Chain A
Amino acid sequence: MTLLRAMGPLRRPGAGVAGRSRLSGMLRLGLGLVPITVLVFLYQQLAVSKSRPRIFPQVGDVWDAFYEILIGHGELGSSYDQIMVTSLRIVSAFAISFVIGIVIGVAAGRNKLVFSFVENLVWVFMAVPSVVWVYIMIVGLGLNPVVPPLAVAATVMPQFIVLVAEGAKSVPDDLGEMARSYKTSTWQRFTELFLPYLVPYIIAASRTSFATAVKIMLVAEVIGTPSGIGFEVSYWDGKLFMGPVIAWGITMLLMGLLVDNFIFSPIERRVSGWKSKPIDAAETMGAVI
């Protein structure tokens, strides 16, 4: 769901008509839950039939493991410490790709020379799997706590750059010409024309990047660190206990959902509030003009 939302500002048909959209929202939620429920049910049947609770934990076992995480228990220390460590790594990886992504993305989108310069580099970075980055960096930096955030940033940054560059490239020339005709300063053009135009692209890039960062961080931690959620996963995997592994996966999923719904969504609603204004004026005035 996080990823789907991150794909961009998809407008639901009928959005804007308050009653209808609320109804279809509930309907959508219901429809969305059906496949997940079916999947959980099928898995439960499989787990029961196998009757090997460590490898195929039943839904109840997974819930128990998840409950342990919720109340902060853990064989490797408080689960909240692990969540904190991983969150911090995700946030720093995201921050690195956010800042560098915007700077390089804008430069590449506005300047053909910069674009040609970074184009191939971006493709190379895109093609290298995050796991490879982890190993490369471990060789270079040792088992250093900065390795996972750096590896994740290296993996996530290219898509950030590409999205922002696309946005920067598509700022319409005619608006720039209009702004120059009104003798606007470079600063006014940047803050009132360029940036507002770019914001939806930056938000879309942020959402995809964050969702990817959450996924990849787990891999990076499994390989490269003695702490964090990834370490928990590899620990329980080593002991052949799948319940906690799944429970930690669910925890990460929830973290991603929380951030998307409570941070990115409100920001997007705020900056693109003008889009949701109803189109009533044109309709009522259509007859007059």
Chain B
Amino acid sequence: MTVARPGSNELQPPASGHDIELHNVTLRFPRPDGKGTLPVYENFTLDIERGSFTVLLGPSGCGKSTLLNLIDGLLTPTSADSVKVLGRDVRTDPDVTRHTAYVFQSARLLKWKTLRGNVEFGLKGLGVQPRERWDELMKKYFGIVGLTDFTKYYPHQVSGGMQQRAAIVRAWVNEPQILLMDEPFSHLDEITAAELRRELITLWSRDEQRRTVVFVTHDISEAVQLGSRIIMLTPRPAEICFEQIVDLPWPRTDADERSFEIEKRLRLVFAERAGVKA
């Protein structure tokens, strides 16, 4: 199995310039009581351009994580005109999601494998070749997140923050074009979360080849700190109710007046539009 590595010709941005194209996506889940269906998305359309750090902001349970699962091909929509990643539809061409990597809310590490073993689990799954590259890749990314001395430890031996760092290594190590992150810092204490946010932005912004990040959160200040584009979603069925381009340099802090202004505005809109529908 040969897999094109990011950076190879195959991965030129699609003509549209959008790494992710969701057009008229409808997704309905059967209700738990078996009566009818629960609409999560109705004719939802969203394009995400290459190299953007897009934050999906919305109330809990509005289907933000579901959207990432659709993009990663873990879920199939009820109907859709297109669910395209890098110009290829994930429904007919699931292999394209090898170029996406997923960081989950909890680290989801295999507790019987060392941190290194967990990262290798991902590399093996994605079929990264040649195998000799693994060491070099792992060395690089474990180094970047400061885990070099901990690769032989088991998840239960390290802190929650370090587990999440290892999960980030597992996702980044293959240098995927698209990174899907589902509230990756929400389980961590604020100090650790702030540090990881800073690291993530550094990691992302210093990469020569800009990767596309789709980051899900319900935390407005996190959204403003990270996103180049913030998309606000309403409760189910989720719709885009507000969009904000944040054209500020990183790293951003709350002390920065402009980001504070944006955050304030978003809070107002959030309370007004993304509240629970009657």
Contact = CB atoms under 8 A, between A and B. Distances in A.
Contact of A282 (B97, B121, B159): B159
Interface residues of B, number: 33
A75 interface: no
Contacts of A185: 125
Contacts of A188: 121, 124-125
Contact of B157 (A180, A192, A281, A289): A281
B156 A184 contact: no
Among A174, A178, A180: residue with most chain B CB under 10 A? A178
A289 B150 CA distance: 13
Interface string A165-201: 0000000001101111111110010001100110000
Contacts of A174: 104, 106, 108
Contact of A182 (B111, B121, B161): B121
Among A175, A183, A286: residue with most chain B CB under 10 A? A183
Contacts of B150: 281, 285
Interface in A248-289: 272, 274-275, 277-282, 285-286, 289
Interface string B144-165: 0000001001101111011000
Contacts of A193: 110
Contacts, number: 81
A275 B72 CA distance: 33
A88 B110 CA distance: 38
B121 A184 contact: yes
Contacts of B98: 183
Interface string B76-95: 00000000000000000000
Contacts of A285: 150, 158-159, 162
B172 interface: no
A178 B126 contact: no
B104 A183 contact: no
B268 interface: no
A275 B112 CA distance: 8
B74 A279 contact: no
B110 A192 contact: yes
B195 interface: yes
Dominant SS among interface residues on chain A: helix
B108 A175 contact: yes
A13 to B, nearest CB: 17
B158 A183 contact: no
A179 B125 contact: yes
A277 B157 contact: yes
Contact of B159 (A196, A197, A274, A289): A289
A282 B158 contact: yes
Interface in B95-126: 97-98, 101-102, 104, 106, 108, 110-114, 121-122, 124-126
B108 A178 contact: yes
A183 B126 contact: yes
Contacts of B111: 274
B74 A180 contact: yes
A188 B114 CA distance: 17
Contacts of B72: 181
B35 to A, nearest CB: 21
Interface string A43-62: 00000000000000000000
Contact of A286 (B97, B108, B159): B159
A181 B102 contact: yes
A185 B150 CA distance: 28
Contacts of A272: 112
A203 B161 CA distance: 32
Contacts of B159: 282, 285-286, 289
Contact of A274 (B112, B121, B122, B158): B112
Given A179-B125, A183-B125, A281-B150, A289 B108 contact: no
21 contacts: A181-B74, A182-B101, A182-B102, A182-B121, A182-B126, A183-B126, A185-B125, A188-B124, A192-B113, A196-B112, A274-B112, A274-B114, A274-B154, A275-B156, A277-B154, A277-B157, A281-B158, A281-B162, A282-B157, A282-B159, A282-B162
Which 8 pairs between the two chains have the least Cβ-Cβ distance? A184-B125, A182-B125, A178-B108, A181-B102, A182-B122, A281-B157, A289-B161, A196-B112
Given A181-B102, A182-B102, A281-B162, 11 more contacts: A177-B104, A178-B108, A182-B122, A183-B125, A183-B127, A281-B150, A281-B157, A282-B158, A285-B150, A285-B159, A289-B159
